[in-house]
Amino acid sequence: MIEISLRTGGRTDFVDVTAEVRRAATELGITDGALVVFNPHTTAGVTVNEGADPDVVRDKAVALDKLVPWEDGYRHAEGNSAAHIKASLYGSSVTLLVADGELRLGTWQTVWFAEFDGPRTRRLWVSKAG
């Protein structure tokens, strides 16, 4: 297993981790198969989505804040229920295919770490699937 460390910059932040995941696949010796990227945090997620147009990331953050506002009468004493809900919507892992030693992503696809309770120091775990 490979651990990727990262620092997020705001309450909501999307960090492109594609290059780090590629490096992890190489370090793990995966040439053909699949790998899992797992996020061990309850207020963050991981996803694959467009990375070519930065407005997509901005639009996702705005839409999520409309769907799950930070203040909405939540009862969780820590005050970050919105982050927990957003993390549940995104999910804690993605499975990615590897062929001929390369991640198989679509033309516009990027692997994103999605922060919903930052800024924080975070980590991702990458492991060969199966």
Q: pLDDT for 33-80, tens place per residue?
A: 999 999 999 999 999 999 999 999 999 999 999 999 988 888 887 889
pLDDT value, residue 116:
98
Would the pLDDT of 125 be above 90?
Answer: yes
Domain boundaries, the chain: 49-100
Predicted model pTM? 0.94
Handedness of CA 46, 20, 48, 119 (dihedral sign): positive
Q: pLDDT for 5-23, tens place per residue?
A: 999 999 999 999 999 999 9
Eight-state DSSP code of residue 12: S
- DSSP H or E stretch at residue 114: strand 109-115
Going by pLDDT thresholds of 50, 70 and 90, the confidence category of residue 95 is very high
Among the four given CATH numbers 3.30.1380.20, 2.60.120.460, 3.40.50.620, 3.40.50.720, the one describing domain 49-100: 2.60.120.460
Going by pLDDT thresholds of 50, 70 and 90, the confidence category of residue 93 is very high
Helix axes 54-67, 81-90, angle to 10 degrees: 120
